[in-house]
Amino acid sequence: MAAQVTLAMIEAAAERIGPHIRQTPIIEMAHVRDRPVPNPVFIKLESLQVTGAFKARGATNRLLTADPQTLNNGIVTASGGNHGTAVARAGQMAGLPVTVYLPPTASPAKIQAIAGWGATVEVTGDTWDDADEAAVAHAKARGAVYFHPFKDADVVAGQGTVALEMAEAVPQADVYVIAVGGGGLIAGFSAVLAERNPKARIIGVEPEGSPTLARSLEAGRVVGLDQVTTRVATMACGRTSEMIFDLVSDRVERVVLVRDDDMTEAARWIRDELAIRADLSAAASFAALRLGRVPLDPGETVCTLICGADDSALETEAGP
């Protein structure tokens, strides 16, 4: 049995990281010309979080739960962009050197942000999984501590603090729609809602080119993908972990798939209708809603979040 993340761990994480992060606002989707669904929709703006994404929560909790003696050789991670920025910021908080390995699909804006927080950036391989292998090798060779983006209970507990805040603010929520990369965020929601709102349905959203969790749920076990073809670096993961699978398998109703171009169009919708900068992973849940992929009963209240801020893809998008 893989290590588990409990509500108590997430509540402790919220207390621990509280002084170091922002409790981001929640808005109701209103006054838009082109509603994706007629249902009430509440949106948590993690794009306003420190470093521009919810990942600051997990990275900060990982730092604050670590034995300082183990960090003498610095921190290393692999990322599609958001987690790397969060770890770079955590390293700056602690005065520690950080190295972040990224795939070449990572957004230039995120690469610049990571470097801006003082981390060393290494772009390598073709996919996040290649960057992960390089980060593991770095950790072994140099004695650095690897802050994994999702295969870490303290990281997942930190991400789960998003769900705590949403469950408190919108207790009437019926459906949560959550973007999935490695699965840390949806695992945190699963742990919180199992106790705070067990009636709520959880729907995951993945790219067609990286259906990691969808395929694992279909198989009833963790399976790896033969290839990852999505160009959305923050959602490109070839294999989730047993811990994530254990947390979500009984709580996530389904995982729906969207195309990269669907996320691009949804990000444009968010920019035009809500005047919010959203990266493509943040637009995934809106893409699924706009396409009718999320089954909803009339009147059900929907919760989702804009999990990261970066609209540079909208300026450089050249089609498939």
Q: What is the pLDDT of residue 198?
A: 97
| Per-residue pLDDT at 317 | 44
pLDDT category at 166 given cuts 50, 70, 90 is: very high
Res. 4 pLDDT band, cuts 50 70 90: confident
- My answer on whether 46 and 105 are in the same domain is no
Could you tell me the residue range of the domain that residue 64 belongs to? 56-146
List of residues 6+ apart from 278 with CB closer than 8 A: 47, 267, 270, 271, 286, 306, 308, 309, 310, 311
**pLDDT higher than threshold 80 for residue 213:** yes
Residue 192 falls inside a structural domain? yes
- Would residue 218 count as lying in a domain? yes
In a domain, 151, yes or no: no
The answer on 179 and 81 residing in a single domain is no
Residue 1 lies in a domain: no
Whether the predicted pLDDT of 318 surpasses 80: no
For residue range 30-86, what is the model confidence (pLDDT) as tens digits?
A: 999 999 999 999 999 999 999 999 999 999 999 999 999 999 999 999 999 999 999
What's the chain's average pLDDT? 94
191 contacts 273 by C-beta, under 8 angstroms: no
Is 49 a domain residue?
yes
* pLDDT of 2 strictly over 70: no
Q: Do 243 and 140 share a structural domain? A: no
Q: Same structural domain for residues 92 and 228?
A: no
Give pLDDT tens digits for 167-181: 999 999 999 999 999
Q: Do 109 and 189 sit in the same domain of this protein?
A: no
Position 22 in a domain: yes
Looking at the fold, whether 191 and 291 belong to one and the same domain comes out as yes
**CATH number assigned to the domain comprising residue 72:** 3.40.50.1100
Q: Is the residue at 113 inside a domain?
A: yes
pLDDT score, position 3: 57
Q: Is the pLDDT of residue 243 over 70?
A: yes
Asked whether residue 97 falls in the same domain as residue 229, the answer is no
Q: Output the pLDDT for position 1.
A: 41
With beta carbons less than 8 A apart as the criterion, state whether 135 and 76 touch. Answer: yes
In contact, 96 and 71? CB cutoff 8 Å: yes
Q: Is the pLDDT of residue 310 over 90?
A: no
Higher pLDDT, 17 or 109: 17
- pLDDT per residue as tens digits for the range 89-109: 999 999 999 999 999 999 899
Q: Contact, 5 vs 188, CB < 8 A?
A: yes
Residue 315: the pLDDT is 60
Can you state the angle between helices 82-94 and 55-65, rounded to 10 degrees?
Answer: 40
Q: Are residues 180 and 124 in the same domain?
A: no
State the number of CA atoms in the 13 A half-sphere of 146 facing the CB.
20
Query: Is the Cβ–Cβ distance between 170 and 26 less than 8 Å?
Result: yes
Q: What is the pTM of this model?
A: 0.94
Residues 304, 181 within the same domain = yes
Of the candidates 88, 124, 91, the residue with the CA atom closest to the CA atom of residue 106: 124
Q: Which residue, of 146, 175, 190, is where some domain finishes?
A: 146
What separation in angstroms does the CA of 189 have from each of 160, 185, 291?
6, 6, 23
Beta bridge partners of 178: 204
% of the chain residues with pLDDT over 70: 96
Number of domains in the chain: 2
pLDDT bracket for residue 320 (50, 70, 90): very low
Say whether both 163 and 285 belong to one domain. yes
Report the alpha-carbon distance of residue 263 to residue 179 in Å, rounded.
11
- Which of these three, 95, 125, 146, is where a domain ends? 146
CB 113 within 8 A of CB 41: no
Please determine, for residue 151, whether its predicted confidence score (pLDDT) is greater than 60.
yes
Pair (137, 175) in one structural domain: no
Q: Answer yes or no: is 181 within a domain.
A: yes
Average pLDDT over residues 251-256: 97
Question: How does strand 120-123 pair with strand 98-102?
Answer: parallel
Q: Does residue 182 have a pLDDT over 80?
A: yes
Asked if residue 204 lies in contact with residue 252, where contact means CB atoms within 8 angstroms, the answer is yes
65 and 49 share a domain?
no
pLDDT for res 313: 66
What is the average pLDDT across 233-237?
92
Which of 146, 164, 193 lies at the terminal end of a domain, its last residue? 146
Number of H helices, E strands in the chain: 12, 10
